[in-house]
A = this chain, B = another copy of it.
Amino acid sequence: MQLTANQQYVLCALKEANNPLSAYALLKQLRKPGFNAPAQVYRALDRLIEHGLAYRLETLNAYVACSQQSNCERSLMAFAICDACGQADEFEVNDGDLRHWAQSHAFDLERTVIEIRGRCATCTRHQNEGAMK
């Protein structure tokens, strides 16, 4: 898989970010390398997502690089998104339940989205410390 220059720019920006980035945040960052319009960002994102190198977080309208070294494509990834700090953790889940429902309802499953929202360990700890004063 060979990435174009634009796709590499976007992927690098996502990898260097600590948090998910919106398409417009990416655009802002990539003005210097020559990005001028949202379509450029969205097109690169589309390809990256197609190839499993990035994900769109549906509950956030934002994008992240795939954090797994190997094949994200083989397994189902879920995201835990912290509402306090914005970090998104990717993890693998067993989708047996969903596949079972799909099969028993003759639903031809193409794509699965699983996102959980809440507070990450770090932010929960800080919140508690605050409360203890």
A contact residues vs B (CB 8 Å cutoff): 58-59, 78, 80, 82-83, 89, 91, 93-94, 97-98, 101-102, 105-121, 124-125
Contact = CB atoms under 8 A, between A and B. Distances in A.
Report which residue of A97, A110, A121, A125 has the largest number of chain B beta carbons within 10 angstroms of its beta carbon: A97
A6 B1 CA distance: 52
A93 B101 contact: yes
Secondary structure at the A interface, as helix, strand, loop or mixed, is strand
B58 A80 contact: no
Given A113-B59, A117-B113, A98 B93 contact: yes
Contacts of A108: 118-120, 124
Q: How many copies does the complex hold?
A: 2
A105 B118 contact: no
A124 B102 CA distance: 12
Contacts of A101: 78, 80, 91, 93
Contacts of A111: 116-118
A58 B113 contact: yes
Contacts of A93: 97-98, 101
Given A78-B98, A97-B94, A121 B106 contact: yes
Nearest to A117: B111
